[in-house]
Amino acid sequence: MFRAYEIQPDIYWVGTIEWNERYIHGFSMPLGSTTNAYLIMDEHITLIDTCMPGFEDELLQRIASIVDPARIDYIVSNHSEKDHAGGLARMLAAAPHAKVVTSSPKGHAILQTYVGDEREFIPVKSGDTLTIGTRTLSFIHTPMVHWPDNMVTYSATDRMLFSNDAFGQFFATSQRFCDEVDQSVLFACAKKYFANIIMPYAKQTAKAVAAVRGLDIEVIAPAHGLIWRGEGVGRILDAYEQWCALEPTDSAVVVYATMYGATARMAAAITEAFMAAGISVRAYDLDVSDISDIMTEVMDARYVAVGSSTHNGTVLPPMGQFLTYLKGLAPKGRRGLAFGSFGWAATGTKEIDTVLQGAGYEPLLDPQTCGWNDTTASEEALFQAVSEALR
Ligand code: FEO
């Protein structure tokens, strides 16, 4: 039933479409996702990457629509995270003669934990090549984009880069190429993906993008989402260069969790202060907002204000989740503001301040607190305090 789709002469997309997957390690995917694998029909048949665990039948059927999987000679694993290598054991069972090409030493070490060491591995270093017939594939290590083992595979014959996670998007579609879908949706998905997966490794990614710029490329085939071709190649490379710089814009994000509304009123006062100062701002109540959507805006924001009611001596549960996420992803060179309401001790606000400073946010103001039943007079005072700090 599942079919392969030819994307270049003798190169087929054989990936899987996760139409109804909505989360991957905390990242929301409202449009689902694809996990891309590519089959190169050369003298030595080569598969680039595999699939998520549970999607092996789809991958195998797409391959079998072109060739018996038993004839595969090489499986190139650009990255050993489960979404790309989770199907490796089933693929090796279906392709009993296939050798596994992976980065040395990190990819090799990780893949051995998946499939043992009885099958033949070809561990490769940056610059190594593998001739598969009319094509010679070359491998470039891209460590920490976003795991230590990452590499990309380049086919000069096809002017094609198999970039794995880099340049990906979580976007399930029946189309395969970037120019076949709405560009605003495509780039919104690509930016959210960068902010939530790639951002902590922006320096390493900038080096990888510079290395890619040195190649003659017509097509970038990532491991998630749409394939970049034509003008799309330059546009996504330009976008990555801009995103990797992590230059803040004159904008703010206000994120809060509220119990009975006092912290929400503080958030409104802070939001108004940013607006009055002419700074673009968005406010997010964590009861109704998604942390990975917020993070896409945090990536650009010069200011982040974070508030919670104090509850059981700490922050409310949704704020705990947000702070955990922020700790791992926070861009540097920004200013932060902790705020929140309390009943008898503002310990939740102190906790937020500690996390913000630990993540590298320079305080815009001392932590701002208010009693849970304070009058609107304290909201006006908060508006004035933030306005003053922004002058
Ligand atoms: Fe798409 Fe790092 O896995």
Binding site membership of 18 for ligand 1 (Cβ less than 6 Å): no
Q: Amino acid letter at 275?
A: M
Q: In terms of Cα–Cα distance, which of 29, 313, 32, 74 is closest to 196?
A: 29
Based on the residue annotation, tell me whether 379 is a catalytic residue of this protein: no
Based on the residue annotation, tell me whether 44 is a catalytic residue of this protein: no
The whole-number pLDDT of residue 372 equals: 85
With a threshold of 0.75, does the pTM exceed it?
yes
373 pLDDT exceeds 90?
A: no
Q: Atom of ligand 1 at shortest distance to CA of 168?
A: 1
Beta-carbon contacts of residue 323 (< 8 Å; ≥ 6 apart)? 306, 315, 351, 352, 355
Among protein residues, the one with the nearest Cα to ligand 1's atom 1 is 165
pLDDT in tens, 125-136: 999 999 999 999
Q: Quick one: tokens of 256?
A: 């809060």
Q: How many distinct helices (H) and strands (E) make up the chain?
A: 12, 25
Residue 323 contacts residue 349 (beta carbons within 8 Å): no
Based on the residue annotation, tell me whether 108 is a catalytic residue of this protein: no
The whole-number pLDDT of residue 341 equals: 96
The whole-number pLDDT of residue 26 equals: 82
pLDDT in tens, 66-88: 999 999 999 999 999 999 999 99
Q: Compute the distance from residue 88 Cα to the ligand 1 centre, in Å.
A: 14
Model confidence at 114, pLDDT cuts 50, 70, 90, reads very high
Q: Quick one: tokens of 82?
A: 């489960």
The whole-number pLDDT of residue 117 equals: 85
Binding site membership of 79 for ligand 1 (Cβ less than 6 Å): yes
The whole-number pLDDT of residue 389 equals: 98
Based on the residue annotation, tell me whether 79 is a catalytic residue of this protein: yes
217 pLDDT exceeds 90?
A: yes
End-to-end CA, the chain: 63
For the segment 2-20, the average pLDDT, to the nearest whole number, is 97
- Percent of the chain exceeding pLDDT 70 equals 100
The whole-number pLDDT of residue 165 equals: 96
Binding site membership of 223 for ligand 1 (Cβ less than 6 Å): yes
Q: Atom of ligand 1 at shortest distance to CA of 146?
A: 2
Among protein residues, the one with the nearest Cα to ligand 1's atom 2 is 81
The whole-number pLDDT of residue 105 equals: 97
Residue 208 contacts residue 163 (beta carbons within 8 Å): no
- Percent of the chain exceeding pLDDT 90 equals 96
Q: Quick one: tokens of 171?
A: 């976007």
For the segment 221-236, the average pLDDT, to the nearest whole number, is 98
| Phi-psi category of residue 187: left, alpha or beta, with phi > 0 → left and psi -120 to 50 → alpha | alpha
pLDDT in tens, 267-288: 999 999 999 999 999 999 999 9
Q: Compute the distance from residue 2 Cα to the ligand 1 centre, in Å.
A: 23
Based on the residue annotation, tell me whether 311 is a catalytic residue of this protein: no
Residue 6 contacts residue 12 (beta carbons within 8 Å): yes
For the segment 200-223, the average pLDDT, to the nearest whole number, is 95
